[in-house]
Structure 1
Amino acid sequence: MAQKFKEAFQKMAQNIPKGGGGAGGPNRGAGAAAAAGRAAGALMMAGGLGYGAYNSVYTVDGGHRAVVFNRIMGMKPVVYNEGLNFNIPWFEWPIVFDIRTRPVNLQTLTGSKDLQMVTIGIRVLHRPDPNQLVWIYRHLGTNYDERVLPSLMNECAKAVVARYDANELLTKREQVSAAISQELRQRAGVFNVLLEDVAITHLAFSPEYAKAVEAKQVAQQDAARAKYIVLGAQQEKKTIITKARGEAESAELIGTAVRKNPGFMKLRRIDAAKDIADIVSGSGNKVYLNADSLLLNLLGDADDKFEKSVHGQSKWFSN
């Protein structure tokens, strides 16, 4: 366009005579003025045509839509798709909307059902309704998301969180997110805003509540540990009682066997002597002890003395 203006000025300068005097000077001057007027008119026409041609078309990029404002009739009811489109210069100009999905994040402080303060962060993927861009521009403008979504997200999050206890916000996080999504979709639909996804990104309680929860968990762990200690003591008690009963029954059986058959002690002495002999024979040290103390004197009179004492005790009990 600048090159065309430059060429037109050069042609106009060539048509203007360099000298104004000489024979036929007045006629030549009048002709030069007429030529200059024609050149200026041609230049203005070329400029007007160039301006009109340049501003009569516009391009809508991929993922975008356009609406057109007309100086006479206002907003045109047509939504223009991607590609090359035409409009009337100066009387109309396009407004391009980005209809691709965009994220918006909000963090708000609210109270739960049990009056615990909760800080909740929400991420929303949204886009405008492509068929309602004229309404959106007329009522909200191009920054519709900044006008509508923060207030809607804040209100919906507070309304949903107030239905759940602090414990349920952690254990039923998916359910809480679905409830916020349902509320937000319903409210945003009034403003022709489509929501692709709603998710809870952050959930935190007050420091006092966090300390109380931690103390509760510690107390529960201590109680469980004490429970297992009590169970262990009870099992140990049962073990001791069972062992004592076994030893008492064993002693009673041994006493009965000794009273009925004194030879039982000889068998026990033989078994003990065998064990002692195995230990002494396997040891590398030399042992010099009395055979009676080692229960090795199996041929002595110790058994006879023991049998006499047993018979004496049985006679005494019978008397």
Structure 2
Amino acid sequence: MAQQALNNLARGAIGIGAAASLAQASLFNVDGGFRAVMFNRLQGVQKGVIGEGTHFRIPWLQTPHLFDVRIKPRNISSSTGTKDLQVVTINLRVLSRPDEEFLPDIFSSLGLDYDERVLPSIGNEVLKAVVAQYNAEALITKRETVSHEVRTALTKRANEFHIKLDDVAITDLKFGKEFTSAIESKQVAEQDAERARFLVEKAEQEKKAAIIRAEGEATAAAVVSEALQGSPALVELRRIEAAKEIAETLSKSRNVTYLPSGGQNMLLNISSASSSA
């Protein structure tokens, strides 16, 4: 009896374990930001898209495949020729995600690595087509327009593969050595021309200032000359003021003790002259 009870208990444990394993194999989870596409061994890829949460499946017969539907960044680089035959390397930043409604079609035609299969090829295709319409210099001056054309064309091509593009932008432009050297030489020439223009304008301003200053000095000299001719006493006053300034300067020097002027001290003469005046 005891042996039979143990056997029954063992069979029951095995059955419970098998049932638990079967239940675990029959359930699968779809995490946030993911969607699932179900593959049936008898019917192929199912048309419906399975959302987030825990779901039931038939073990062995059905296999879920998870798609990441969150926005993913990608850099696409392409070296191509411009309209004037210059070589340019363009780096493109793309933010993409799959169109959830068409996930079964994407899985059937492209697989889970759809973005690796599609975006680099169509990105290079669009970049080459757009860049070929512009000269190298226009790519710099009309960068926003070029970026808009690339975004429009690439979005249209990606839609053909059920891929949505949330943002497309040109992040970098690199030209060949010859064109880069030509641009640098042009910039240096423009700077030299600007510097020469500044020197010419400076010389013109200095010339005008010198003319105005000369005219002012001539006018002042004419006014003084007229004043001197009209009043001889003014000449004497100027002479006394000049002699006084010279005498005061010399009197402060350690090497000069007195100044002879007609046998009398110059300071005394000036003082007396100032008193008589």
Give 1:159's aligned residue: 129
Gaps of 5+ in 1: 1-9, 15-38, 301-319
In the aligned structure 1, how far is the partner of 2:13 from the partner of 2:239?
141
| Structure 1 residues 206-257: Cα deviation after superposition (integer angstroms, max 9, x where no partner) | 2222222222222222212212212222222233333333444444444444
Confirm whether residue 75 of structure 1 aligns to residue 49 of structure 2: no
For 1:212 and 1:140, the matched residues in 2 are separated by: 45
Q: Distance in 1 between matches of 2:187 and 2:250?
A: 60
Return closer, same or farther for 1:192/1:281 CA change in 2, 3 Å cut-off.
same
Question: How far apart, in 2, do the equivalents of 1:139 and 1:93 lie?
Answer: 17
Task: State how 1:3-82 maps to structure 2 within 5 Å.
Answer: 11=7, 52-82=22-52
- Match among 193, 201, 222 for residue 231 of structure 1: 201
Which shifted more, 205-214 or 135-144? 205-214
Aligned counterparts, 1:1-319, within 5 A = 11=7, 52-291=22-261
Q: In the aligned structure 1, how far is the partner of 2:253 from the partner of 2:100?
A: 100
Aligned to 1:7: none
* Closer/same/farther in 2, CA of residues 165 and 284 from structure 1, 3 Å limit: farther
- Relative CO higher for 1 or 2, CA cutoff 8 Å, sep ≥ 6? 2
CA distance in 1, matches of 2:193, 2:152: 42
Distance 1:49 1:246 in 2: 114
In terms of Rg, which structure is larger? 1
Q: Deviations over 1:10-49 (max 9, x none)?
A: 949x9xxxxxxxxxxxxxxxxxxxxxxxx9xx99999986
2:51 is paired with a residue whose SS is coil
Q: Contact 2:40–2:61 at 8 Å: present in 1 too?
A: yes
Distance 1:64 1:256, change over 3 A: closer
- Asked if the contact 1:269–1:295 (Cα under 8 Å) also holds between the matched residues in 2, the reply is no
SS of the equivalent of 2:50 reads coil
Report the counterpart of residue 3 of structure 2 in structure 1.
none
Shift of residue 274, structure 1, vs aligned partner? 2.7
**Post-superposition shift, 1:128?**
1.0
**Residue 68 of structure 1 contacts residue 92 of structure 1 at CA under 8 Å; is this kept in 2?**
yes
1:150 deviation in Å? Answer: 0.6
Report the Cα offset of residue 52 of structure 1.
5.0
Per mean C-alpha deviation after superposition, the further-off stretch among 101-110 and 88-97 is 88-97
- The answer on whether the counterparts of 1:59 and 1:82 sit within 8 Å (CA) in structure 2 is yes
Distance 1:61 1:274, change over 3 A: same
Q: Deviations over 1:134-171 (max 9, x none)?
A: 11011111111111111111122223334444444344
Give secondary structure in 1 for the equivalent of 2:58.
coil
Alpha-carbon spacing, 1:270–1:47, altered in 2? closer, same or farther (3 Å): closer
2: CA distance, partners of 1:46 / 1:273: 131
Q: Cα distance, 1:263 vs. partner? A: 3.2
The number of residue pairs the alignment matches comes to: 263
Q: Is the 8 A contact 2:38 2:64 kept in 1?
A: yes
TM-score (norm 2): 0.78
Asked whether the equivalents of residues 99 and 164 of structure 2 are also in contact (C-alpha less than 8 Å), the reply is yes
Q: Which moved more, 1:140-149 or 1:249-258?
A: 249-258
Q: More strand per residue: 1 or 2?
A: 2
Q: State the identity %.
A: 47
> Secondary structure of 2:91's match?
strand
C-alpha displacement at 1:121, in angstroms? 0.8
Per the alignment, do residues 84 and 249 of structure 1 end up closer, same or farther by CA in structure 2, a change over 3 Å counting? closer
Structure 2's unaligned 5+ residue stretches are: 1-5
1:277 Cα deviation from its structure 2 partner: 3.2
Using structure 1 for the length normalisation, give the TM-score.
Answer: 0.69
